[in-house]
A and B are shown apart, each in its own frame.
Chain A
Amino acid sequence: MEFAELIRTGQAQAELLRGPEEPPLRGTLCITGHHLLLSPGPQATPDLWLLLLRNVDSIEKRVAGDSGTITLRCKDLRVLQLDIEGVEATLDIARSIEALSSLESVITSFPFFYRPKGLRLGDAWHFHPPECYYKRVARETNAWRLSEANEDFSLCPSYPRAVIVPRAVDDSALARSARFRQGGRFPVLSYYHAPSGTVLLRAGQPLTGPQKRRCSEDEDLLRAVLAGARPGARGFIVDTRSPQAAKQARMTGGGTEAKAAYPGWKRLHRLLETGRPLQESFVRLVEACGDLEQSMDRWLNRLESCRWLSHVKETLSTACLAAQSMEQEGACVLVHGAEGTDSTLLITSLAQLILDPLSRTMAGFQELIEREWVQAGHPFQLRCAHSAFSHARPKHEAPTFLLFLDCVWQLGRQFPLSLEFGEGMLLALFDHAYASPFGTFLCNNEKERCLCEVRTRTHSLWSGLSQPKEQRKLRNPLYVPNPLAIWPSAEPQSLRLWQGLFLRGTRPPEPSEVAWEKVWQIVTDQEKTEGSQPTDSASEAGP
């Protein structure tokens, strides 16, 4: 398909309003296949202004006299206004943006054309394969092996080629277990907690159905997990649905593990809403955040009724529950919901952040996201097709990944020194998940990514983020390695609205950004003064 067919007009004169604080920008507006460009003209100092069309969530046009106004609401929650000269031009541009921003084809998307200077194709894609993580596990225990049973994605299309499974279970048993689990997602290792020797697993729901079917290979697999941990180990199955919902799922072929079939395992139900309710919660919160005029009572009322913070609380406390079972009770934990690609990943990834100091480093966090979200088959393309402004009826959209980022933000607020990355990193991840020039969040799973040759034809976000000029935005200046588990408080009094994200479209840059600048300055001062000491002592060395 040719982009040119969709571009109705080449350029127009326009003025851009970006927010309460930033000055308006005036110049020539251009549309290309992937971008909206505004070139301020030769004498102006700021360079080109550029917006990825994929970032446009909704578009609103108004015509008055011989000029028009287009309001663009972006997926990253920013709101832009374009005042364009000429009615025809306005309508043409609006139609072009509409058409171009809703293109669904993956291989014509911008990451396949993006060739930034200083980056080589294929870089950083090899950073975080499951093999790497397996090496870490293998150093600690011998009970697990790397299986390539899914080499051709035939067992499970949403798993990567290689997965970590109990050594005692062979590939043919895996294949049978896969048939017993939704989406072929048989139980695989998500995290090995070395201090207690326990493991975190994830899977899809078992397909017990109304007949209460069983699968001996699946049962063997879970028995092998307990046997591999230590004699007499217990396990918990954290089901992210309510007991009723889990029971009802039997009618449609799903279900839960029967108590008798899995000795040593005990089921816990923690309802985590996903899908439509979560998306609606997100939309209502963003709506409330856009209203500057509302009274105190109205605001509190809307904050309460959108239930976003309730979701944060439930997610955090369930993740803590899983982490606590592993660390305190010495139990193995299997997490699943229905498909095992949404709330399941929320819990497994957060539990790791709580328990594993390595995942709180910059590299470790990227690895965690690559392993537990991208390769674990969170369907980014479906979930992040639209953000909070879209008028389209939501189909598969849900801000699960955003909920994860929000929980991490809450962790970071409660343990401001223990995460190596800062709020900037979380914001960047949010932006890139919804619209990005990089290929990392393209497609829904590894299989699709292989088909589209994402790894060879696009750049990885991780190489983009590792560029030195990005570092200051992404890092937490106060980071000190913390070898302990970090247990957050999930009380409502301890949770806060993530203003840096949800209010980014409505408020001027916070003075606290200035304050952070100052923090950076103090930290660099410290490094400088310490560096200039004749004998650099161990005062900085963390544990």
Chain B
Amino acid sequence: FCFIDRTSTSSDCFKKPKTKRAKRFLEKREPKLTENTKNAILIKVIQKIPNPYLFFFRKNITRPFEDQTSLEFFSKKSDCSLFLFGSHNKKRPNNLIIGRMFDYHVLDMIELGIEKFVSLKDIKNSKCPEGTKPMLIFAGDTFDLNEEYRRLKSLLIDFFRGPTVPTIRLAGLEYVLHFTAMDGKIYMRSYKVLLKKSGCKIPRIELEEMGPSLDLVMRRTHLASEDLYKLSLKQPKALKPKKKKNISHDVFGTSYGRIHMQKQDLSKLQTRKMKGLKKRPAAKMTEEDEGISPKKSKSVL
């Protein structure tokens, strides 16, 4: 079993996996209806200050904005669709490029300059466990009005949202990432959430500054064209909920069904015969009743 895509060379395509493990590996990477959680590559150019977070492939990728082939190659090999590239030079100090891929080709890339950075270690507070799904808040109307900011918002959500879960433990909402767009800058702050007692069911929120906080400035962008972006947003039809016809709901939750009937001749309706109510043949009245319908009529369950 193997899959075909336009980026695979012919030798990739015709090789059949020899073990079940290899087959599962390939199946995990092929396009699916409901996708896997996105993984990210963190790339860092050689710097003087060592950083404990992982980075790969330092030397081969130098300028993502000029040459994207090596980025795409590594994304394909590691099956990661998000990437974060950090660099520092005289022209662009403290540069951070955040980007995502579609079908192993670069979709969007935004270059941000870090003006102020406070790391996790600098703030001496208790932290929340790794892997908590964060709450994301975007403040500022620029995130809606400006096209580049809108893409940046989408990119940041993609990066930070984590796996999609059906249920969530309410007491476990500990981490919140707050992005504010103001005066041409984007302030990213991370807080730890403390749920305090209040008079009612909803707890009172107190925030404690925790993790990294960044002041970012948008530099260059490389956004995907409208039609490519639309193509990447396309969701499979199978996942769309099927709409049942002829059923409507009102505000109170009552559901209404519509039955389409043909025109009925009320004088010829077959009703229950009540001898006592039988009138003279001149003035015959039919009883009102429901439930008896002529032969040809559609009914909805």
The finding on whether chains A and B are genuine partners in a shared complex, rather than unrelated, reads no
Residues of A within 8 A of B (CB): none
Give the A-binding residues of B (Cβ under 8 A). none
